[in-house]
Structure 1
Amino acid sequence: MFDFLKKKKQLELIIGSPVKGKAVPLSSVNDPTFSEGMLGQGIAICPEDSKIYAPADGTIGMVFNTLHAVSLTTKEGVEILIHIGLDTVKMNGEGFKGYVKAGDTVKKGDLLLEVDLDKVKAAGYDTITPMLICNTDDYAAVNGLDGKDVQAGDDVIIITEK
């Protein structure tokens, strides 16, 4: 009868790391597009592995033809962008291998892309991998769990629904 007096519990969504490495705040990314949150809030991973995995269940929105980035949308509507390295678009796909295409349904932990980290470094690019929640404004909060070593799939972003 008095349900309106009960405080509504805010739901949280958990997003996993797309790659093994060190989780760092977006503010530490040496590119203002990411560090200032222009594309959304999230986290960055300094990768220690070449395999990029799905951080959540969802549908692939776009795989850039240069394979340096991939987007997916979860069933809850979270829009995720994984961007491998900085300025790696200039590599024109060299050193990248894709395993998914737009429209594919993926489960958390499915292999999305592979990157030759040594080739990226040899080309003079930073391998840091930002993962952004592009529709950050749809949520009460998007918090990155940085400052720790992570395995692919480990919790790195907590999203609180409005």
Structure 2
Amino acid sequence: MLKKLFGLGDSRKKPAEEVIFSPADGAVMDLASVPDPVFSQKMMGDGIAVEPANGDIVSPVEGEVIQLFHTKHAVGIRTLSGAELLIHVGLDTVNMNGEGFEAHVKEGDKVKTGDLLLTCNLDLIKEKASSTVIPMVIMNGDAAEPLQFAGANEAKKGQTELFTIKMK
């Protein structure tokens, strides 16, 4: 209470909005086109997807790694504005139990846009999983305004803007 009254406390202001960049090189897809109803019907949240051209997955935003799945197929990042972003590499890749995936971060790590998060073997994913597509969704979308999509068709990891998010 006193902190609010006297303006004490955290002097860092959260950004009003953030640009979310592509986590991979490849073709940008509407989330509705992802061949998994959990993502295509936005059960986990709104977002976008990328069909990767290679196995390097980078941070699409500045923030903190809040979850690294033990199977290394997915990473959760809390952005500076508080958005919780899930980057899920491939579909049914959890069944690979980490085979073909290498993590370059751990929970609690601070990341900047373009920092390498994971490397994965796309050929192995094509062989053992149903898809290589990378859905990227906002897990706490109820705390955000509707996403503003940039309209990109092709993406360069860490460089191509995919959407802008503004937290409420």
TM-score (structure 1 length as normaliser): 0.89
Identity of aligned residues (%): 43
Structure 1 segments, 4+ long, off by >6 Å, are: none
Structure ranking higher in strand proportion: 1
Match of 2:125 in 1: 120
CA shift for structure 1 position 146: 4.6
Bigger CA drift: 42-51 or 142-151?
142-151
Aligned equivalent of 1:152, options 143, 148, 157: 157
* Distance in 2, Cα, partners of 1:146 & 1:118: 28
CA shift for structure 1 position 80: 0.4
Aligned residues: 152
Opposite residue 77 of structure 1, the aligned amino acid is: G
CA shift for structure 1 position 104: 0.6
Bigger CA drift: 121-130 or 143-152?
143-152
Partner SS for 2:126: helix
CA shift for structure 1 position 159: 1.5
Which deviations, in whole Å up to 9, do the C-alpha atoms of 1:101-146 show, x marking residues without a partner? 1001111110000010001111142000000011111112113345
> Residues 92-131 of structure 1: matches in 2 within 5 Å?
92-131=97-136
2:92 aligned with 1:87: yes
**Contact 2:152/2:162 (<8 A) preserved:** no
Gaps of 5+ in 2: 1-15
CA shift for structure 1 position 147: 5.4
Aligned equivalent of 1:33, options 24, 35, 38: 38
Match of 1:12 in 2: 17
CA shift for structure 1 position 77: 0.4
TM-score (structure 2 length as normaliser): 0.86
Partner SS for 2:24: coil
* Distance in 1, Cα, partners of 2:135 & 2:120: 14
Partner SS for 2:137: strand
Match of 1:134 in 2: 139
Bigger CA drift: 64-73 or 135-144?
135-144
| RMSD value, Cα | 1.2
Aligned equivalent of 2:54, options 37, 45, 49: 49
* Distance in 2, Cα, partners of 1:143 & 1:37: 16
Q: Rate the CA distance shift 1:139–1:72 in 2: closer, same or farther, 3 A.
A: same
Q: Rate the CA distance shift 1:146–1:125 in 2: closer, same or farther, 3 A.
A: farther
Opposite residue 84 of structure 1, the aligned amino acid is: V
Q: Rate the CA distance shift 1:85–1:91 in 2: closer, same or farther, 3 A.
A: same
